[in-house]
Structures are given as C-alpha cells and as structure tokens.
A and B are shown apart, each in its own frame.
Chain A
Amino acid sequence: MAETLTLGKALNAGLRKALESDPKVILAGEDIGKLGGVFRITEGLQATFGEDRVIDSPLAESGIVGTAIGMAMRGYRPVVEIQFDGFVFPAYDQIVTQLAKIHHRTRGQLKVPVVVRIPYGGGIGAVEHHSESPEAYFAHTTGLKVVTCANANDAYWMIQQVIASDDPYIFLEPKRRYHDRGEVDTESEPLTLHAARVAREGSDLTLLCYGPMVKTCLQVADAAAEEGRSLEVVDLRTLSPIDMATVVTSVHRTSRAVVVHEAQVSYGIGAELAARLSEQCFYDMEAPVLRVGGYDVPYPPSRVEEEYLPDLDRILDAVDRSFAY
C-alpha cells in the first residue's frame, strides 16, 4: 500500500513498526517520550508502547549511548536519539572506542545492535551546534555502518532495516527534509540497505550525493536539463559501506562526477569518493572528480548559512568546470 507521508512521519511509522514487530526494540533519548522528540519523530510512541520501551533519558549523551551498549549486550536492540548533530560528541568516545569495537574485540561473541539516530545538517536557521554534518567522523571508524535517508520511503524502510541488523549503525536524518512529503510503499520489498539508488538517470555527468543534498541535486539536474545537459543523480544512501558498483557503473557511462555534500569538503566523503573513482575509473573519466561542500570553516552563524551550504549555483558552477576540461 502506498501513502504520502512527510519524511518525519515516515520515520515515526518505521519506528512504530519496529517496536511492534520485535519486543527487544527499545527507544531511548532526551525528550523522546511525552514530547515525542524535539522534531516529534517519536511522537505517540511512548503512549502506545509505554515508558519502559520509549525511555526519556537523563540529559547525558555518553550515558545514552553507553547504557544502550549495555542493553544490547543483554539482548536488546536499542535505538537512541541524539537531539542534534553537534551534541553527539559527548557520546563520541562511547561510539568510537566501544560501540564500534566490541564485536571485533570479543571475536564476534558480543553483538551490539545499537542504532544512533542523529538529525543532521543545516538550512533551518538554527544556532551553533545545531546544523553540523559529522558523517565523516563515523564513516572513518571501522566497525560502524553509516546510513542516511533522503526521502520518506527510504526513511520508513531504512530505519527498520538498521534496527533489524546485528551491527551498530549511525542513522543520519536530514532534518531540513523532515517536512518534505513523499510516497511510502509499505508493501513491496524495499531496496537493499547498502545499495545506492539512481534518483535520476542522465548521460553527461554524475552528481553523487546523499541526505539533504539529494533534493538539491535533483533541482540542479532540472536546471541543467534546460541548458541541454543530462545529469545523473546518484543517492548514496549508505556512506559506509559505499555501494561503489552503482557509483562506478554510473561514472563509467557519464565519464564525469561531481560529489555534493553539506559537510566541509576536506577529508570528507567526497574525498573518499574522489580517491576511489580515480582508482577504479581513471581511464573512463574526462575530468577529475570535483567536490562541492561546506567551506573549511566552522559552521557559520545561520544568517549566512545559505552562502555556506551548496546550492544550485555552486553545484552548476562545478558542473561547468567539469565540462571545461
């Protein structure tokens, strides 16, 4: 059955489904109970499932993740919410030194199926620490898997898929797309979790993007089409592991690639993609892989964030530069 939902409501429906289908699933985080989370993603869930399964946590991010690890060791599947991207760092130690490593350290005897949900990215006019894109920190940590959804259907399915997995996941939610509506197909089989998706087919250049930038890149492809350029848009969906087969297939055909993300360009997902494409597609490409991202400055005051964040003009400019080679 298909229905139209916002990305936020789709996440809520996915979480509800996960709570219904497995009694071991537990949600925890600050303000997720009565309030339903500051973005209302968990709205109504405590009323249905009770305070023991939808837990209002003390205000302590390391504690939220650290206790989730302990619950997972006891056989539960905790899904914890970090209220905003910039507040994940108090929990960073638990995520990087513990959550990511425990399976390896114990030679697979302990599984820690913890999902850390993080609303991330800018564009909502927020104050400091509320607009960041920390994905590269986590993608750089072996033992973690990092995914992000860009539309309501993926939100609904991917949250259920990561909860069902025995591995720890960082689940990034593009907060400025929470209110975007899309069709959710609750019946037919979802896409494989780690598959990238060709969001728009094109023949001249591949835009590689994920999360909040997918919508922007689709707009860029529309604009480019008016100028007679056919851009393919690939939504990575999973940042670790990256579905290189889909990426390479696309770039092999188009022979040009531009990576777009909100995070600062240096040392990021774009750098990883550029390196891998130069290894795997060197002789197929007409131009070097170009990156469009946030500048290498701290996330700026929100009054100037529109200039910091990749937009149509900056991405089209990179497209032009690619064709200029």
Chain B
Amino acid sequence: MSDTPDSGLVQLLTPEGERVEHPDFSFPGDDEMIAGFLRDMVIARRIDSEGTALQRQGQLGLWASMTGQEAAQVGSGRAAKKQDYVVPSYRETAVAWVRGLDPVALSAVFRGVDLGAWAGNDGNFHPYTMVVGSQALHAVGYAMGITADGATATGNPDTDEAVLAFFGDGATSQGDVNEALVFSSSFQSPIVFLCQNNQWAISVPTTRQSRIPIARRADGFGMPGIRVDGNDVLASFAVTSWALDRARAGEGPAFIEAFTYRMGAHTTSDDPTKYRLNAELESWKLKDPIERVRAYLRRSGSVAASFFDDLAAQADDVAADFRSRTLALADPLLEDSFDLVHAEATEHIIEQKAAYIDYASSFEEE
C-alpha cells in the first residue's frame, strides 16, 4: 500500500459505473441486490436532505448530514446480519435506515425531544453517542460479552454474532478508539471497526489526524486493515462481509477505512466554504456513490425504465412522512427525567421531583 491519499482502495464499481475485478474481494450479489442498495442510498440521502432542511427551518436544533457517505453506510450496514450488533457514531442515517430504525428516532434526538431511546430496537442498532470515539469501547465490551456467551465462533454463520462499530477519521485520534483497538486485539473479540474517512473532522483535514493512510494503523494493533472505496457500495459490502464473516468465525477483529467524502457540512452548525475549496467538492461529486450505481443499472438494463422515477417518488414519500412525523413529535415532560436517573430510584430525587411538580403546577393554577 503506498501513501497517496486514495491509493490501495478496494474498488468493484468505478465512478463511471463499470464493474471491475479485485484479486481478493468480489461482490456476491445480483443486480436485484444492487438495485436494492440504490434504493437504500437514494432514500437515505432524501432523509438526510430533509433533515438539513428541517434544521434550516428551525425545526431541528442540529442535523449531522451524511450525504456523500451513502455507499459506505449502506454497503457496510447491509453486510451486517440481523443478529449482529451495530454501534453507530452520530452520522449513520443510512445505517439506521438499513437496520430498520424509524428515521424519526434520529430527528427526535436532533429536535431535542429525546436523547436516543431506541435501545432495544429490532435492528440491533445502538443509540448514538455524541462524545467522539466513546462508543468504540462499548462496542468492544459488547463483543467481549458475545464471546463470553459463546455466541460466536461456533461454526454456524446463521447464528454466530459479531459487532460492527462506526466512527470517523477524527475519532481515530481519540484515546478511546486506540484503547478499543488494543482491547479487541488482545481479546480477539468478534468486532469490525468501520472508519468512515470523510476527509474532514469538522474543519480539520485527515492529514492532521494521521500521517499515513488510517487503515495502515491497524497493523500496529495486530489486525488486518483494509481501505475500501467508500463511495463504492459493492466494495463496501464485500469488504465488510469478509471482515464480519471472519469475526464471527473467531478470527478476531478487523479495521476498515472507508475512503469517502462528506459533501455537506460536519453539522448544520459549520460552514464548509470556510475551510475547504469548492474544487475539492466538485471533484468528489464526480465520484458520487449514487450516480455510479445508477449508471451501472441503466447500462445493465436489469431494472425497468420506470425504476428510477418510482424510486425518486418513493424517497419523496419517505421524506414527507419523516417531516410530518418529526413536526408532530411531542415535547417530553421534564418530570419524567427524574424517574430515569437511576434504575433504582433514590429518596432524594423522588423528593426533588415532587417539589418540581408542586412548583410547576403553581403556575398552571394562575
């Protein structure tokens, strides 16, 4: 692997939409599966643009856009099996979508009505963690628990479990991510780390996080590190499937760097025109993860001509539903907060709750 920024990437679908071979990885699915990936990516991008719009209209306090990262998220997310546990960072809109999470669970967080109460959802999709990199350790601990349960490396790929943990390029500078890599390697835990290198940690480029391609760091922790074209959904799926299969089989952790690009701002709070050149954005638009799949499917003729229009309409419907239900979210009650501090309530907080309710109700009577 040489050190140029985009060298050594596993790619199975070019930006022009042509399938290419790779010596180590191949995409096992058919065109129907690829069309399904396109559907996921288009809908996720539409949810994302609606989230940004809702923030601009004052309906959300914040939104973390992932436009540009659909292939990395859909490819890896679809590689996880139902029994796998997926631990996101806070930008995994498309992963949430493929794990079956209601997107309103996400907007509830950014609207300020909830802190991420979707734990226990059927999609095994862990709540967001806003502190950068913290979740990598939780993911490893969970994977250690899978091992302790004997729920992996039994030889049955239909039931063996693994963890898929997401974080960004900036998070690789955090101590917690490095400690997570140490623990997972030491205990050979069934986990795959999926680093979405979207080139920017808010306004700071990846070069300020690492002098070498981030995937090469994996070598120092004793696990394979693979760089994949994160704008190529086929390659993202193939590489993540390989790593998860390996983890479930008891062969230990792996580190994937999905080389991609965040087309929008870090969140709606920053302005990327202040820290990066327009030419960079334009060059990445040519590598758009959605356009290359569209081009491929058009050329292959495996979907009906109406497929793309139907999909656009479907995405608009999802977005409209997302919008209307986001706007209908009820504010939480502060009094419920008191009940949720501990699993086993304390006298002190029970008394404080009663005092709060007394105080609050004194206004209602006026």
A residues with a Cβ closer than 8 A to B are 26, 52, 57-58, 60, 62-63, 65-76, 78, 90, 93-94, 97-98, 101, 103-111, 113, 142-143, 145, 165-167, 194, 241-242, 244
Contacts and interface: CB of A to CB of B under 8 A. Distances in A.
Interchain residue pairs A-B with the least CB separation, the first 8:
A70-B141, A66-B137, A74-B145, A67-B141, A63-B179, A166-B343, A107-B117, A106-B119
Contacts of B115: 101, 104-107
Interface in B117-170: 117-120, 126-127, 129, 131, 134, 136-146, 148-149
B117 A70 contact: no
A58 B186 contact: yes
Interface stretch (B53-61, B66-74, B90-98, B344-352): B344-352
B330 interface: no
B180 A63 contact: yes
B341 A76 contact: no
B187 to A, nearest CB: 8
Given A70-B143, A98-B134, A143-B341, 17 more contacts: A60-B183, A66-B138, A66-B140, A66-B179, A67-B137, A67-B138, A69-B138, A70-B139, A71-B145, A74-B146, A74-B149, A90-B175, A107-B114, A108-B340, A110-B127, A113-B343, A167-B344
Q: Which of B116, B141, B341 has the most CB of A within 10 A?
A: B141
A166 B342 CA distance: 8
B291 interface: no
A170 to B, nearest CB: 13
Contacts of B180: 63, 66-67
23 contacts: A57-B183, A58-B186, A63-B182, A66-B134, A66-B138, A66-B176, A66-B179, A71-B141, A71-B148, A73-B126, A74-B149, A75-B149, A97-B131, A104-B341, A105-B127, A106-B117, A106-B120, A106-B127, A108-B340, A109-B117, A167-B342, A241-B346, A242-B348
Interface of B: 114-120, 126-127, 129, 131, 134, 136-146, 148-149, 175-176, 179-180, 182-183, 186, 336-337, 339-344, 346-349
A26 to B, nearest CB: 7
A194 B126 CA distance: 32
B183 A63 contact: yes
A108 B339 CA distance: 9
A110 B115 CA distance: 13
Nearest to A114: B141
B305 to A, nearest CB: 45
Contacts of B141: 66-74, 78
Contact of A73 (B138, B175, B340, B341): B138
B274 to A, nearest CB: 29
A243 B143 CA distance: 38
A101 B344 CA distance: 14
B144 A67 contact: yes
A103 B186 CA distance: 29
A67 B341 contact: no
B137 A70 contact: yes
Contacts of A194: 346
Contacts of B145: 70-71, 73-76
A98 B135 CA distance: 9
A106 B137 contact: no
Given A104-B340, A145-B342, A110 B137 contact: no
Nearest to B148: A52
Contacts of A242: 348
A71 B179 contact: no
B65 to A, nearest CB: 23
A103 B290 CA distance: 38
A62 B127 contact: no
Q: Which of A63, A68, A106, A244 has the most CB of B within 10 A?
A: A63
Contact of A58 (B126, B129, B179): B179
Nearest to B336: A107
Contact of B340 (A60, A72, A103): A103
Contacts of A63: 137, 140, 176, 179-180, 182-183
A107 B136 CA distance: 22
Contacts of B182: 58, 60, 63
Contacts of A110: 119-120, 127
Nearest to B182: A58
A248 to B, nearest CB: 12
A73 B347 CA distance: 26
B348 A69 contact: no
Given A69-B138, A73-B138, A98-B138, A107 B342 contact: no
A232 B15 CA distance: 79
B133 to A, nearest CB: 9
Contacts of B129: 98
Q: Which of A62, A74, A76 has the most CB of B within 10 A?
A: A74
A77 B256 CA distance: 31
A93 B176 CA distance: 10
Contacts of B134: 66, 93-94, 97-98
Contacts of A57: 183
A106 B129 CA distance: 11
B175 A104 contact: no
B343 A58 contact: no
Contacts of B348: 241-242, 244
